[in-house]
Structure 1
Amino acid sequence: MRRLRQLAERTPATRERYVDLLRALAITMVVLGHWGVTVIGHDPTGRPTGHSALGDLPWVWPLTWLAQVMPVFFLVGGYANAASLTARRAHGGNATGWLIDRSARLVRPTTALLVVLAVGAAVARLRGTDATEIRTVVWFATIPLWFLVAYLVVVPLTPPMYALHRRFGLAVPLVLVGLVALGDLGRLLGPAGLATGNYLFGWLAVHQLGFAWYDTRSPDLPRRRRLPTSRRAALVLLAGGLLALVLSTVVGPYPVVMLNVPGERLDNAAPPSLALLAAATTQLGLVLLLRDPATRWLRRSRPWQAVIAVNAVVLTVFLWHLTAAVLLVGLLDALGVLPTPRVGSAAWWAWRIPWLAALAVLLAALVAVFGPIEARSRRYAPAGPGSGPGPGKTIGPGTARPGGATGRRLRTGLAVAGYAGVVAGLLLNSLTRKAAPEPLGLPAPALVAYLAGAGVLRLLRSGWGSPG
């Protein structure tokens, strides 16, 4: 507690604390949402299985317009990446050094999860567990990696995309929205392959708005680079986004639900659709409306200390929350006390309370074990207006040093290759079917690609390959 109090006291007045709060709330809502809609049952062989309750509860679909908070996370990510990249350059660093150091916070906690799952799967296989069953368990535990794939693609694109933002401002996300519309047209009329780019264009569009939000710190910048943040602008965004959302879902061809529901004509989130971007606009308006009262509240020490504490382990919470669910289901099933009430029944709703409480306790234990890996990846060192909105920034091995252009290009190429290996590994795992016979739970090529990429990034962070 003393450490949190010290960190809170050192926070400069210029820091945008609201961004930290949004990140913590977004991940908390994802965790509670996944846990809350989980339905546990048994397959024909008697083994526990799970699925989402959304397909059985269509009346809750409009709630996903707020519960689908990944747009908020990408908005905050854009702000954070613009802030930390600007701070790095202000200290004499470069984009490559920023990219290498940024990988620590993302890759180290993810590596811990994958290694633990692979080791656990290997032990289970040696004890005679079927490889298909192992894969099914690991598949559930690694569902959060779908989101991380998209974010790990967006992060290395930050330097060129921020350069585009500096030149063209808000025109960039408008163009990206147009590309999403083209992809949706392909999904509706064909060819469906046109929509593949929406996985990138949709999230990039929201990420660019984070750049525009960050640039509001400099009122002398051209208006095209700054996000309108007045109360009037917030109301326009909220009302306009909500109108577009209703027209596109209730009247138009898009599902009302913003999360995946099997059997629906389209999936608004995979890839992101125009309807999801309308929801993102609605959420942006609401975020801006609540900004001033939230900022005043965060000036108090205790709320701000809580936000700092959550942000120190926020990725760990996200990565391990479904592993906690797998462990709890396995434990209750082994004890013969796993409740499987019918979804939507009174018993099912009553079970939500002890279910969420037990999961919170188990996740807290996992975070206590694995959270320090993330917390050590980043020091909290708030500086001036250029400091990022996360728990701090580090000027380390990636800071520019004297050296030839060839060495700098090589280092940049290795950083991009490292990210590519990590993304390829995570993507291959996500695309591998749930029932595939994988003795390690993860496809071997996926694990090799990921560890190779993570290893390259780790070497670069240690200073390997640095010029000078």
Structure 2
Amino acid sequence: MSRDRYVDFLRAWAIVLVVLGHWLITAVLHGPGGELTAPELLATVPWTQWLTLLFQIMPLFFLAGGHAAAGSWARTRSAGGTATGWVGRRAVRLLLPTALYSGLVLLAVGVCSTVGVDPDTLALVGWAMAMQFWFLPVYLLLSALTPVLRAAHRRWGLAVPVAMGAVALIADTVVLAAHTPDVGLLNYVLVWGVAYQLGFCWRDGPLSERRPLLPAAMAAGGALAFAALVALGPFPVSLILVTGQTPSNTNPPSAAMLSWAVAQVGACLLAAPVLRRLLERERVWRVVRPVGSVSMTLYLWHMLPVLVVAAAFYLTGLAPEPALGSAVWWGLRAPWLLVLGVVLVAVVSAVRPLEGGLVQWYERTRPDASPYRPWLLWPGLAVCATALSRFATRGFTDDGRFPALPALGLALGTALVLLHRRPTEPGSTEHYSARLGEERRKSKMWLKFQTHVR
């Protein structure tokens, strides 16, 4: 089956807007003692919180992820694959780039801590380099749950995301009424899981872009619900965490975030016919496709250019520092974004071959058809999700100190996931069986493709 260009576009578009949004609101200034500070634009200039409605587009990434996962899992099952094999394959492709990124950042943190870099500065840098990590444990968990969620979808269809949304609303109400923030942790899976599950419905037909009535109702109803919750309820307009703002729409995801996610999904389906026609133009697709292929790399590394440019232009005093939020400050956002973009292209060009090399090495030494060890995979995923959650909430440092325990946890969890496939030595019977099984799996997929085409 040919790739769905619109799904690939949504993933690329979501990542690009996240990157631009983070860069746009990031400000760098000299502090009283000459040190660099990063004042919070959304808190200092409150009207900028409305901009988050444009840049908080991660619901569409989860929607596209659910659509793609549904097709991938269906093809794996048709070819005789198992849940362990499918989940493990997706986990490896997520964790290898993450492990490379985390390892290099942690190495830098360890060196800086040893040579005596200011702890406050190191803590700020460690937070900036981990601010995007909230996404990783959530997506890892939803990927692991895909076989179960997919089975529920096949039986109950649209009722599944509706039920998940209802439970999310109950959890949010309990958090607000009883002041029990731990209950809100459920909403990381439930709210983002609604968008992921709607991706199943989109692919299989219960939620169809060809029947615009339901998408239109979702777009209008979600937008009206969001407006009501902000205007009449306790929720802020910002869809990004603002320090000191309670409640938050993202930490944990709130009823307002759920409403906005539903509205975005509806609008996405309404826009699908026009955008699909546009993506059929090869000149447009040649721009979109490369971005989609490096979306994970962009997401992981996009804050490094901020640190590079801050050191090059702000520590040296070369960059002007107008008042935060002034007309001059906004005017300088254009060259700021341009320079960051150039640096990010250089970073991606350097890092992408390393990521690809790691994945190719792993696939070569442990073919997908090699025997699995489920008892290593599932604990490994749990340990990785815990470590990544710790980095997401507290950054890559503990008040300027090296985070030994979470770093060890991430290394251990990643190792367990990687070891869930047994290695096969070239020339061995096991290696031959694994390669034969892989060829059979590919042959079955090819036959299904030929049948589909005919």
For Structure 1 versus Structure 2, the TM-score category normalised by the shorter chain is 0.7 to 0.9
**Alpha-carbon separation, structure 1, partners of 2:349 and 2:190:** 36
SS at match of 1:460: coil
Change (3 A) 1:230 1:252: same
Contact kept, 8 Å, 1:316 with 1:371, in 2: the verdict is yes
Identify the range of structure 1 (128-137 vs 161-170) with the bigger mean alpha-carbon deviation: 128-137
Residue 307 of structure 1: aligned partner = 288
The CA deviation at 1:190 is 0.9
1:87 to 75, 78, 85: 75
Residues 333 and 66 of structure 1: CA distance in aligned 2, closer, same or farther (over 3 Å): closer
SS at match of 2:315: helix
Give 1 or 2: higher helix fraction: 2
Of residues 30-39 and 160-169 in structure 1, the stretch that sits farther from structure 2 once superposed is: 160-169
CA contact 1:135–1:437 (8 Å) conserved in 2: yes
2:37 is equivalent to residue 77 of structure 1: no
Q: Contact between 2:132 and 2:392, CA under 8 Å: does it hold in 1?
A: no
Which of 216, 219, 223 is residue 238 of structure 1 equivalent to?
Answer: 219
Match of residue 449 from structure 2? none
> Are 1:82 and 1:211, in contact at CA under 8 Å, matched by a contact in 2?
yes
Offset at 1:349?
Answer: 0.6
1:138 aligns with 2:126: yes
How far is the alpha carbon of 1:336 from its aligned partner?
A: 2.2
- Uncovered stretches (5+) of structure 2, i.e. residues with no partner: 435-454
Q: Distance in 2 between matches of 1:106 and 1:42?
A: 37
Decide whether the 8 Å contact of 2:209 with 2:272 is kept in 1.
no
* 1:134-190: CA deviation from partner (whole Å, max 9, x where unpaired): 232122111111221221221111111111111121111111111111122123211
Q: Equivalents in 2 of 1:165, 1:42: separation in Å?
A: 53
| Coordinate RMSD, CA, aligned | 2.5
> C-alpha distance in 1, partners of 2:25/2:401?
29
Confirm or deny that 1:211 pairs with 2:171.
no
Q: What SS class does the counterpart of residue 34 from structure 2 fall into? A: coil
Letter in 1 for 2:392: S
How far does the alpha carbon of each residue in 1:405-447 deviate from its partner, in whole angstroms, 9 at most, with x for none? xxx6xx223111121121121112233378733443xx11111
* Equivalences for residues 183-332 of structure 1 within 5 A: 183-193=171-181, 194-216=183-205, 223=206, 226-227=207-208, 229-332=210-313
Q: Paired residue for 2:374? A: 412
Distance 2:32 2:282 in 1: 53
Unaligned runs of 5+ in 1: 1-11, 217-222, 380-392, 402-407
**Within 1, Cα distance between the matches of 2:375 and 2:395?**
32
Is structure 2 residue 141 aligned with structure 1 residue 153?
Answer: yes
* TM-score under structure 1 length normalisation: 0.84
State the secondary structure of the residue aligned to 2:37.
strand
Q: Does 1:446 align with 2:377?
A: no
Separation (CA, whole Å) in 2 of partners of 1:33 and 1:140: 14
Alpha-carbon distance in 2 for matches of 1:163, 1:183:
24
Post-superposition shift, 1:97? Answer: 0.5
AA matched with 2:296: L
Confirm or deny that 1:397 pairs with 2:397: no
Please state how far the C-alpha of 1:352 moved relative to its aligned partner. 0.1
Name the counterpart of 1:372.
353
- Structure 1 CA distance, aligned partners of 2:123 and 2:35? 14
Per-residue deviation, residues 253-289 of structure 1 (Å, max 9, x unmatched): 2112211122323111111111111111111121111
Pick 1 or 2: higher relative contact order, CA cutoff 8 A, min separation 6: 1
Name the stretch that deviates more: 328-337 or 82-91: 328-337
**Per-residue CA distance 1:82-113 (angstroms, 9 max, x = gap):** 11111212222111111111123211111111
Letter in 1 for 2:171: G
Alignment partner of 2:420 out of 433, 439, 460: 460
Distance in 1, Cα, partners of 2:227 & 2:121: 42
Contact 2:164/2:194, CA 8 A, preserved across alignment:
yes
Residue 263 of structure 2 aligns to which amino acid in structure 1? T
Of 34, 43, 53, the match for 1:65 = 53
Aligned residues: percent identity? 35
Instruction: Write the distance in 2 (CA, Å) between the matches of 1:265 and 1:456.
Output: 38
